[in-house]
Amino acid sequence: MSTSEQLPTATLESARDHARSQVGLQSVTAPTVPSTAASNLPEGIEASTVVWDETIGSGNYATRAIARGTHIRITDLDGGACIALAVHRADHTPERLNVADTVKVQWQAYLGTGTLLLSDMGRVLMTVVDDTAVGHDALCGCLSPAAASERYGDGSASGPTPSTRDLLCLGLAKHGLGRRDLPPIINLFTSVRVDEDGSLRLGDGGPAGAHIELRSEMDVIVTLASGPHPLDDRDEYSASTVRITAWRDGLPDAATDPFRTTTPERRRAFENTDELLRGRT
């Protein structure tokens, strides 16, 4: 392997620079890292309520266990993001996001404000309470190691063009979970449409500043990975940087929650969730 082809971690210095590049520091002396608790928070969010504030760029991941009643806003900072999202119930991880049920129970493959992220037990893990993106993909799944390697040359988790599947698995490992625990996922900020002939078409990327805000209806583990969409045929491995901000905001009273009764199916999903939280199975 020639010097120009060496891996970014081949030497101590290059490994350091590669690691620092993941948080935008590069090789600098005594870097100043901004506070993660309250730096330019979105309007209406109090710094004292923030429990998670992080940015992830292309080829990176983030994960966190968050409590019921926490809101999480994911913002596409540059436009054109593709963020793979996996969700698990924190106290019983075999219960997790079921994309097929999320789509078919709500009679809608195109997700947006009011959509419930359902588990395989028919319960609500999270609710989309606000959405300014052009669309999200619940049909295509995430980029596999084989596809990433074929398209970009190295799809391994430690390589320069990691697959989003491997990135998600790295995040799950932090919670004691493995590959078998990764369910089908949703790609945020990526619009995929079904044409008349049944073929899938990748839409244009969303605008810079678009966001999706989700409210956790149970204690959940949220895992996110940034990387190209499986239908993205560009030669360049690229995905926009996003900001993840989560804060404690509580839950509205069931009688006044506008998202509970929009459809009979959604009402039943909330009833299933309430039943669990009351201690009945």
Is the same domain home to 138 and 269? yes
Q: Are residues 26 and 52 in the same domain?
A: no
- Output the CA torsion 134→165→221→22 (10° steps): -80
pLDDT of residue 24: 44
In the chain, the number of structural domains is: 2
115 and 199 together in one domain: yes
Q: Does the residue 169 lie in any domain? A: yes
Query: Tell me, what's the pLDDT at 34?
Result: 39
Q: Are both 126 and 147 inside the same structural domain?
A: yes
- 32 and 53 co-located in one domain: no
pTM of the complete model beyond 0.75 = yes
- On whether both 27 and 155 belong to a single domain, the answer is no
pLDDT at 12: 66
The verdict on 16 and 112 lying in the same domain is no
Low-confidence ranges of the chain (pLDDT < 70): 1-10, 12, 15-16, 18-39, 280-281
- Full residue range of the structural domain in which residue 31 is found: 7-36
Q: Note the pLDDT tens digit of each residue in 126-152.
A: 999 999 998 999 999 999 999 999 999
Q: Within a domain: residue 51?
A: yes
Say yes or no: 137 and 113 in one domain. Answer: yes
